[in-house]
Amino acid sequence: MANKNIENRIIKLRKQIEDLRYKYHVENDPNVTDDVYDALTRELRELEMAHPEFKKESSVDRVAGAVLDKFEKVTHSFRMLSLNDAFSKDEIIDWQKRIEKLIPEEKNIEYFAELKFDGLAVSLIYENGIFTRGATRGDGFIGEDITENLKMIKSIPLKLNTEYKYLEVRGEVVMSRETWKTLNKLNKKNGMSTFANTRNAAAGSLRQLDPKVAKDRKLDFFGWDIADLGGAKVLTHSEKHIMLRSLGFVMDNHEKKTKSINELFSFIDEIEKIREKFPYGTDGVVICVNNLSLQEDIGVVGKAPRYAVAFKYPAEKATTTVSGITVNVGRTGVLTPLAHFEPTLVAGSTVSKATLHNMDQIERLDIRVGDTVVIQKAGDVIPEVVEVLPNMRTGKEKKFKMPDSCPACEANVIKKDIYFYCTNKRCPGKDRRGMQHFVNAFEIYEIGPKILDRLKDEGLISDGADLFTLEIADLSGLERFGEKSAQNIINSIALHKKIELWRFVYALGILHVGEETSRDIADNFGTLNKIINAKEEEINSIENIGPVVSKSVFSFFRDNHNIKLINKILENGVVPFHNKNNNKKLAGQTFVLTGTLPNLSRDDAKKKILSSGGKVSSSVSKNTSYILAGDNPGSKYDDGVKLGIKIITEDEFLKIL
């Protein structure tokens, strides 16, 4: 990306972030989410770090937003800081290394971890034990006086049993998920806007002039700090939590005090497993240096304390840039557009493509190549584009048009209702059996017919080559699929990218070409390039290959569509190799298998025969050399007895080898 383009991107990001900041913090717009805001802010921060010549003061380092005019302004005695975010354990380790450099080596660091609530941060002032004033964070220096609304929250004590004349308590006002759902149902029924999440709902409830609204919406408060201790002797942040509990504040019990970074990671992992079951929203874990004197030594930079960091769990939404749109053909002939973008982390998975479903969806969202878009992957949903950010456009974006001819076979495309179809009944993109043959020849047995159908219907694949571009995120969102199942399939695909030449030829599904013929062709030519360029008479000269088969093979490799598919497979990382079989121990001998062998599977026995130059037949004839029989043999055993064919056991077979 040229410097001018980078500068323009930074300018666009700043403008978009400022717009979202205002809507989020000032207007409480229910359509603005943390995920989108965080993704854009993260991109801006990374660009500014890589290109400091374009960085401006406070472009991302600001807290909250402007104060609403309808509330009185309140100046905080101690600035209400915000936290820097960490999105991975590696970033936590980097933070740890930075703070260790700022303190004497002889001082051991103890850490304290607690939940990061998804609510609205507020400050509560108590004078002689009486709650006298409450305020929002605002811009960190000046907040909004919402005392009367906060008095409506039952979990905020109006009177403390304390000897201290002055205390400033800080914490989070939250709304439970159940209350949020009920509120949204009511708003929808009354034709009002619904809230995107519990945080927006809590903030919107506190910014009402009528305190009764806050009371009716059943808000709650969790304390997490004491900014002014009023003379109390407290040495650690964890002791502040003990003090808050003793004063009667509701505190969450999910917290951890430790000197081990690995124990912090275990706590983060533990919370991730159970956080969806919490009645309140939480998007991360706050980690701080527990010792208060060390906190002072480490200090504050800009808006954030250096002694603390907020680990945030993977967002269900993220922003990215559409680099291209391709079209795949499903098993019914439907053409499905697929958006491609830079690998992006969303909901714990890195994704680089998402289905666009159909042209109606593209036109509704007005998606163009080059657009900055919001992608989503929630629960069991395959990644999808849910929103375009038109303010991020530069004018170079390109509109997408569905092709007039099928990308798999170049046949005409027609439109029925909202879908576009390939008119070719024999289109390779539709061929379900051909695809299953392909994966079986590659021995990717984890992919069955139903999975193939789903992948094709979602537009993720249209031919065998597309399988080798799949990612875990493409599969983990499929119905009845989990991360482990997806990982197994992706691992199997990767494992089989290196494939024997004969299997590669067999996988292509050439008419009249089975396993044995594929082996004969591979052994004769040795490389894929020689096979592709072979003359018909060269193919016909191979032992056991006649004119019908040689014509079929020669014609297959003269077809431009087939060559395109082969090139596509190779470009996606598949590597055919050939180990010429010098073991001719079983040359000229034909085996028939029947019954269950004690140790070898049928497939294992078959591989051993073929790799030793022998042949395997599905039926018994006078040309059969041996019948390899196991337990409960079928009619082939009886046919062999009648014809006088030698019948051998597994042990005898292995001795012959």
Q: Catalytic residues, which ones? A: 116
What does the radius of gyration of the chain's CA atoms come to, in whole angstroms?
A: 34
Query: At 516, which helix (H) or strand (E)?
Result: helix 515-525
CA–CA distance, 206 with 152 (Å, rounded to integer): 10
CA–CA distance, 339 with 99 (Å, rounded to integer): 42
In sequence order, which ranges of 252-315 are alpha helices (DSSP H)?
261-274, 292-298
CA–CA distance, 609 with 607 (Å, rounded to integer): 5
Distances (CA, A) of 20 to 12, 15, 140, 385: 12, 9, 18, 19
CA–CA distance, 328 with 338 (Å, rounded to integer): 7
DSSP summary character for residue 214: H
State how beta strands 308-312 and 304-305 pair: unpaired
Query: At 87, which helix (H) or strand (E)?
Result: none
Cβ neighbours of residue 554 closer than 8 Å, sequence gap 6 or more: 534, 535, 536, 539
Nearest to 468 by CA among 428, 497, 448: 497
Cβ neighbours of residue 245 closer than 8 Å, sequence gap 6 or more: 251
CA–CA distance, 624 with 25 (Å, rounded to integer): 82
Cβ neighbours of residue 113 closer than 8 Å, sequence gap 6 or more: 255, 256, 257, 258, 264, 267, 268, 285, 286, 287
Helix axes 602-611, 515-525, angle to 10 degrees: 30
Q: Is the distance from CB of 235 to CB of 292 less than 8 angstroms?
A: yes
Which tokens go with 402? 């569905």
Amino acid 72 reads E
